[in-house]
């Protein structure tokens, strides 16, 4: 579970900003949401999580000459962006930090406050990096790196450091070379799910073999049905099927009518049938909201059962408000180490959440600023008061001191 995220010079975050995802006892929160205006920077926090995942898991597969697209704040002349994430795995505290420009400039890992490794690249800019790849300069991939290592891990790092590329993390390098080290952190990021609910991908769900296996599994089938019935109580059964279809080709006749011609060949396709009072409906005949919910459930249930982190952008898209309570309760009442982090524009979510589970994002002077709702001492317990105050701009971060709530509406 993620307990803290620090960003500096990353996309809309110019100044160093730290997001605490912990309660008053310093335990990671099971649910956490980011609210704020359009273009305030909410989604960029999720992008930072996705960026670190890609570096930790996939970067060894990048070609040596591939450079990173700059992610720095465009109003900052400094090219280096910093992302640091603190998280828990089996009660051990991990801190993973990277700095990037065109390459991975810095990578550092602590476990329980003990330094495991720290790698600093000496390749200074894009041009010298590309030259070093082309000319080789006597260095493997042109990397010049200082490696500070914990004594316990010195043999590990010495074994793999020669395979390091300027755009690859040590964690990804070790794992992809079949090393048995750093498995916990690699698997943590690899199973972290980042889902963009702003896109419509549900039409291709039944073509996804993982999704069809998921729906067919007796392990999840009943749970999926129970969640779907929250939004459509008529659904009594979900049936994955495989059916044969004829392959047809078409030609245009002289009278401009398209006519099918059967080529006597068939192929198999997968489909999902929904039963409602004995009547069968296809996947395509379901409402947009049901299909959106199916997408989320596909990612949600394995996280709840096995632990992990689910990150969702604009979770409310296509969902009825009454499903919010169900989703939040599924995480809050779960004993596994599972966590839901999401952005939303729908403030109805906040009626089901505590102040320390809500973070407000604003943009001031070209830089995103973040503040937990619990730090606003004037924030009231009443959801309706908060909603009115939020819409009146009480929680805009325009100064170091919170504004007095606008109570003029009480006299309306």
Q: Tell how strand 92-100 and strand 308-313 pair up.
A: unpaired
For β-strands 145-149 and 2-8, DSSP reports them as: unpaired
Contact (Cβ atoms closer than 8 angstroms) between residue 313 and residue 320: no
**What architecture (CATH level 2) is domain 1-200+309-405?**
3-Layer(aba) Sandwich (3.40)
Residue 45 CB partners (closer than 8 Å, separation 6+)? 5, 7, 19, 34, 343, 361, 370
pLDDT of residue 316: 83
CA atoms within 13 A on the CB side of 406: 13
pLDDT at 142: 47
CA distance 369 to 409: 28
Q: How far apart are CA 191 and CA 310, in angstroms?
A: 9
* pLDDT per residue of the chain (412 residues) written in tens, 0 to 9: 999 999 999 999 998 999 999 998 889 999 999 998 888 899 999 999 999 999 999 998 888 767 777 677 778 777 789 999 999 998 899 999 999 887 888 899 999 988 888 888 766 555 555 555 444 444 444 455 556 656 767 777 778 877 888 888 999 998 988 877 888 999 999 989 888 766 655 555 656 677 788 878 888 888 888 888 887 888 888 888 877 766 555 444 444 454 555 555 666 777 788 888 888 888 778 887 788 888 888 888 889 888 999 998 988 887 888 888 888 889 999 888 899 999 998 887 777 788 889 999 988 888 898 888 877 655 555 666 777 777 777 777 644 444 455 545 445 4
pLDDT at 252: 46
Domain assignments of the chain as residue spans, ordered by start: 1-200+309-405
Asked whether the beta carbons of 266 and 246 are under 8 A apart, the reply is yes
Instruction: Give me the pLDDT at residue 84, please.
Output: 97
pTM comes to 0.82
Q: Is 116 helix (H, G, I), strand (E, B) or coil?
A: strand
- CA–CA separation, 8 and 81 (whole Å): 6
- The region that residue 366 occupies, defined by phi over 0 for left and psi between -120 and 50 for alpha, beta otherwise, is left
All residues at 6 or more sequence positions from 232 whose CB lies less than 8 Å from its CB, including other chains: 286, 287, 290
Spatial strand order in the sheet of 17-20:
17-20, 2-8, 81-89, 92-100, 104-111, 114-121, 145-149
Structure tokens at 93: 């505290």
pLDDT computed for residue 150 by the predictor: 65
**Under 8 Å between Cβ of 300 and 276:** no
Report how far residue 173's alpha carbon sits from residue 51's, in angstroms, rounded to the nearest whole number.
Answer: 17
């Amino acid at each position: 579970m993620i307990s803290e995220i620090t960003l500096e010079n990353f996309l809309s975050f110019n100044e160093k900003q730290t997001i605490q995802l912990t309660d008053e006892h310093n335990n990671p929160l099971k649910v956490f949401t980011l609210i704020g205006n359009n273009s305030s920077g909410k989604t960029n926090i999720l992008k930072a999580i996705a960026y670190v995942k890609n570096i930790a898991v996939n970067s060894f597969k990048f070609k040596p000459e591939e450079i990173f697209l700059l992610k720095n704040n465009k109003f900052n002349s400094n090219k280096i962006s910093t992302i640091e994430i603190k998280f828990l795995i089996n009660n051990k505290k991990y801190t993973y930090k990277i700095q990037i420009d065109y390459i991975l400039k810095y990578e550092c890992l602590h476990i329980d406050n003990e330094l495991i490794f720290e790698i600093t690249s000496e390749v200074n800019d894009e041009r010298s990096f590309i030259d070093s790849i082309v000319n080789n300069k006597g260095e493997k991939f042109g990397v010049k790196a200082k490696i500070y290592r914990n004594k316990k891990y010195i043999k590990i790092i010495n074994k793999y450091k020669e395979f390091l590329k300027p755009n690859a993390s040590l964690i990804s390098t070790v794992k992809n070379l079949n090393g048995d080290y750093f498995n916990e952190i690699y698997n943590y990021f690899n199973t972290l799910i980042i889902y963009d609910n702003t896109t419509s991908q549900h039409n291709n769900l039944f073509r996804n073999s993982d999704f069809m296996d998921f729906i067919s599994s007796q392990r999840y089938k009943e749970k999926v049905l129970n969640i779907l019935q929250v939004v459509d109580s008529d659904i009594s059964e979900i049936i994955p099927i495989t059916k044969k279809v004829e392959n047809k080709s078409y030609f245009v006749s002289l009278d401009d009518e398209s006519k099918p011609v059967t080529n006597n060949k068939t192929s198999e396709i997968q489909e999902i049938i929904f039963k409602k009072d004995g009547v069968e409906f296809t996947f395509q005949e379901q409402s947009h909201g049901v299909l959106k919910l199916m997408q989320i459930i596909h990612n949600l249930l394995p996280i709840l059962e096995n632990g992990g982190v689910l990150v969702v952008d604009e979770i409310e898209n296509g969902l009825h408000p009454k499903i919010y309570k169900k989703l939040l309760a599924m995480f809050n009442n779960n004993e596994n180490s599972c966590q839901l982090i999401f952005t939303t524009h729908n403030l109805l979510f906040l009626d089901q959440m505590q102040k320390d589970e809500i973070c407000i994002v604003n943009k001031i002077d070209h830089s995103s600023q973040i503040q937990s709702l619990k730090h606003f001492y004037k924030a009231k317990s009443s959801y309706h008061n908060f909603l009115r105050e939020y819409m009146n701009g009480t929680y805009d971060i325009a100064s170091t001191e919170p504004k007095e709530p606008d109570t003029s509406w009480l006299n309306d």
